[in-house]
């Protein structure tokens, strides 16, 4: 969330953020409530001081009755004004939680993903001398999954990989985790079960009504828990209430967890294959740093994912997401998209996001600056790898005419030295 002081002093920027991100503008209502809250605080403080003065005078007064009556009258007025203050402060908090993060001036202005901007393209899509198979055909012919059986057992948008494809999935996860550890990230295995408040504190949803999460989040019936859609949710609250030391920043985490999403907003999309499913595994990069370090950290975690794409020998491109596509809590966002031969297009494999202090204000995660002041941390996140989605371009880009798949060189040691899987070998 934004600081009320920032909103007061940057009204035009806040209004513009609402406009370009496509959220209702409640700035004027916030300012009116804020003015009333400050007025009530002044009134109650003045009246409390007056009541205390009367209380001190009562023991030595000749007309105690009138002073006692006046004290009771002021006490009643204070109670009424405090009740209004509580009501107005609650309304103000709710409205502040409905204000989106202010985007970077560098972010493209636009309504949706059609207005995103290609920043760079790396690698050239392979020219096949045969018709490349789609992911599901490669999985079918090599016996690497049994989608109908799994759907009967578990329901739609579920998957299970078998044999060499399952080995490849584990090798990809392991490679990415080891790479991030080598770049200074602390590896953490995160639970998938959490509290709804933890998801709220990550700031992805507008407002403070937790029921708005129901279209995206699996709630666990008859409990106070739900399933997280990314390790970002857990790591974001890892230092809630803590005061970190500036000299220890940035703190870099590589979180691994099973992830769960309803995908209710994706009805009818990507219903076949491994693209959009309810449960998947993800390695997430997450950073706590100072505001001054944020741009450098954004480039760092973005480059990590780009290097992983290059290691897997995949053509990819980097996108600057426009204001209407970057979401509620982001300052700026870059998608990394890999080439999908079967669709003759690029598809998103990871999103790199700078959040500013939006999340840390909700979790009260701060650091002690060199000058002794307490400052809110800036936070950032980016995918390390999401599986099985990332297997799609690996399988499709490295396939051979006989249905076998060449293993990227970086993964061969984790696959027992094999150079290919599947096909007629």
Cα distances (Å, whole numbers) of residue 74 to 42, 55, 68, 79: 14, 11, 10, 9
Q: Within a 10 A sphere around the Cβ of 94, how many other Cβ atoms?
A: 15
CA 344 to chain centre: 29
284, containing H or E segment: strand 279-289
DSSP per position, 163-229: HHHHHHHHHHHHHHHHHHHHTTPEEEEPPSEE-HHHHHHTT-SSSS-GGGGGGTS-B-TTSS-EE-S
Q: How far apart are CA 357 and CA 381, in angstroms?
A: 13
The label of the residue with tokens 């996108």 reads: 319
DSSP-derived 3-state class of residue 161: strand
What is the torsional sign of CA 191, 195, 201, 205?
positive
Closest alpha carbon to 361 in 230, 228, 213, 241: 241
What backbone phi and psi angles, to 5 degrees, belong to 121? Answer: -120, 130
| Residue positions annotated with a catalytic role | 261, 276, 348, 351, 389
Q: What is the CA radius of gyration of the chain?
A: 27
Residue 187, beta-bridge partner list: 254
């Amino acid at each position: 969330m934004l600081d009320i002081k920032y909103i007061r002093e940057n009204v035009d920027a806040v209004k513009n953020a609402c406009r370009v991100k496509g959220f209702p503008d409640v700035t004027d209502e916030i300012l009116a409530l804020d003015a009333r809250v400050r007025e009530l605080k002044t009134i109650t403080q003045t009246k409390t001081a007056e009541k205390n003065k009367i209380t001190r005078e009562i023991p030595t007064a000749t007309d105690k009755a009138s002073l006692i009556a006046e004290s009771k009258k002021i006490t009643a007025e204070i109670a009424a004004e405090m009740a209004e203050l509580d009501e107005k402060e609650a309304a103000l908090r709710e409205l502040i939680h409905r204000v989106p993060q202010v985007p970077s001036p560098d972010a493209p202005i636009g309504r949706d993903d059609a207005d995103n901007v290609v920043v760079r393209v790396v690698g050239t899509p392979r020219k096949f001398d045969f018709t490349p198979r789609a992911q599901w055909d490669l999985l079918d012919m090599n016996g690497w999954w049994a989608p109908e059986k799994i759907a009967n057992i578990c329901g739609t948008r579920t998957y299970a990989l078998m044999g060499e494809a399952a080995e490849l999935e584990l090798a990809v996860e392991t490679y990415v985790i080891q790479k991030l550890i080598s770049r200074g990230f602390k590896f953490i295995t995160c639970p998938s079960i959490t509290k709804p408040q933890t998801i709220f504190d990550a700031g992805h949803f507008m407002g403070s009504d937790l029921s708005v999460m129901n279209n995206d989040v699996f709630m666990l019936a008859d409990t106070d828990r739900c399933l997280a859609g990314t390790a970002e949710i857990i790591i974001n609250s890892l230092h809630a209430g803590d005061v970190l030391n500036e000299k220890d920043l940035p703190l870099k985490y590589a979180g691994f967890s099973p992830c769960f999403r309803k995908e209710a907003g994706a009805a009818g999309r990507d219903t076949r294959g491994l693209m959009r499913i309810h449960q998947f595994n993800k390695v997430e990069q997450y950073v706590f740093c100072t505001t001054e370090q944020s741009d450098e950290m954004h480039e760092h975690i973005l480059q990590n994912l780009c290097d992983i794409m290059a290691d897997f020998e995949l053509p990819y491109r980097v996108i600057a997401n426009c204001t209407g596509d970057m979401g509620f809590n982001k300052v700026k966002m870059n998608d990394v998209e890999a080439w999908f031969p079967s669709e003759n297009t690029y598809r998103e494999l990871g999103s790199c996001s700078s959040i500013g202090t939006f999340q840390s204000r909700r979790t009260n995660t701060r650091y002690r600056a060199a000058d002794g002041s307490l400052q809110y941390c800036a936070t950032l996140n980016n995918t390390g790898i999401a599986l099985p989605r990332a297997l799609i371009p690996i399988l499709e880009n490295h396939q051979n005419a006989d249905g076998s798949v060449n293993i990227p060189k970086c993964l061969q040691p984790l696959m027992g030295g094999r150079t290919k899987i599947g096909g007629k070998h």
